[in-house]
Amino acid sequence: MPAAPYQFLVEVGRLRLPPLTLCFAKAGTAAEWHAVLYEAATGAPPVAAGGGGGGGGGGGGAAALPTMDVASLISREGFLEVSTQNGEGWERHFVSLCPNSRLLLFFSSKSKAPGTERAAFDMLSCSLHESAPPGAPHVRGVVPAFWLSLDNSGVYGPGEKGAPTPATAVVANDPEDRARWWQALTLAMDATTLAAPSSGGGSGSGGGSGGAQPAQPSFTLMHWEKNAGFLATLGYPAERGVALNHEERTLCLWQDDRKKSLAAVLHLYAPNVKIDFGCEQKLRSGWSNLRMDICAPSAGSDDRYVMHCFLARTHEEFLKWAAALAAL
């Protein structure tokens, strides 16, 4: 069955029957069917999207997938066999998909302890393949597999000197497990199911109070400015104070973790801002391997884009930052 942009999974309550994946060409059609089936299964209509008082008014028709329902469908983790970067072998990873950040994280251990991270894959920018694309590793026989790629590279990013690498092959435990992963990943690729920050009536900048407003991430990260000059304030790795303002879409950086002096304000609302997620090969003691790169201009130099690199102490802290940035 060819992939469709909107789909959901229907669990069949009879033994030995696999779940059904229903695919639709339009979001509205998928929402209408989901509303009907949800009410038939639960006896209650799904919560209408968007809410709140005022302006969005009237028409719009079908009830959308409730936010909590979408999150539960997207949230998924378990062991998967993943092809190596050169496509010549297989590694067993514990894989976790976060519904808020839409990051697919790969760990060498189920503990997910700092240092066990092996890859971070952004589902909002990726391609999902039912069969092996050109150059990607094939799997023998009838195997519950799928393939992932991003910017012509696999899960682990480009090869040496930026050379493109083929899509990564991923093998699930059985066809049912593959169907559930396929559904979760397909929903994760749809940015319209992201919970945006609430726009009304909040108190100030990054609060985390009401509704879908993302939680304010921690206030310090390991940071350095890539290719900075020798005497640049932010040119060396150090733990610095960092604050995200959702309303103004800015990221403030201080010279150290005590916030003694403001060093830069990044304009995340500028055109062509790029945010990438990846994984360091070598563990920095006390920090997660996961890395976030933000290419954006800073105040006073709006035409000069600079790459800033960030590490968090744990993958949970990293995911909070990724979710907050995804909701901008």
- Domains in the chain: ranges and CATH: 6-48+61-65 (no CATH), 74-192 (2.30.29.30), 220-326 (2.30.29.30)
In this prediction, residues 272-297 reach a mean pLDDT of 92
Please answer whether residues 147 and 182 qualify as being in contact, where contact means their C-beta atoms are separated by less than 8 angstroms. Answer: no
Angle at the Cα of 102 from the Cα atoms of 158 and 257, rounded to 5 degrees:
85
Please answer whether residues 93 and 106 qualify as being in contact, where contact means their C-beta atoms are separated by less than 8 angstroms. Answer: yes
Distance CA 46, CA 36 (A): 9
Answer whether residue 22 shows pLDDT above 90: no
What is the predicted pLDDT for the residue at 8? 58
Give 11's pLDDT tier (boundaries 50, 70, 90).
low
**Structural tokens at position 165:** 């690498």
Q: pLDDT > 70: what percent of the chain?
A: 73
Please answer whether residues 154 and 166 qualify as being in contact, where contact means their C-beta atoms are separated by less than 8 angstroms. Answer: yes
Answer whether residue 96 shows pLDDT above 50: yes
Query: Nearest to residue 255, comparing CAs of 228, 224, 291?
Result: 224
In this prediction, residues 300-324 reach a mean pLDDT of 92
What is the predicted pLDDT for the residue at 10? 62
What is the predicted pLDDT for the residue at 37? 74
**Range list of β-strands (E), the chain:** 6-10, 20-24, 76-83, 90-97, 103-107, 117-122, 127-129, 145-149, 168-171, 220-225, 238-245, 250-254, 262-267, 274-279, 290-298, 301-311
175 or 197, which is more confident = 175
In this prediction, residues 96-118 reach a mean pLDDT of 95
- Judged by average pLDDT, the poorest of 129-133, 229-233, 294-298 is 229-233
Q: pLDDT > 90: what percent of the chain?
A: 51
Burial of 111 (0-12, 13-18, 19+ CB in 10 A): exposed
What is the predicted pLDDT for the residue at 327? 83
In this prediction, residues 167-187 reach a mean pLDDT of 95
Distance CA 276, CA 189 (A): 15
Distance CA 83, CA 149 (A): 12
Give 6's pLDDT tier (boundaries 50, 70, 90).
low
- Judged by average pLDDT, the poorest of 12-16, 169-173, 268-272 is 12-16
In terms of average pLDDT, the best of 28-42, 185-199, 279-293 is 279-293
What is the predicted pLDDT for the residue at 210? 35
Task: State pLDDT tens for residues 286-305.
Answer: 899 999 999 999 988 878 99
What is the predicted pLDDT for the residue at 228? 81
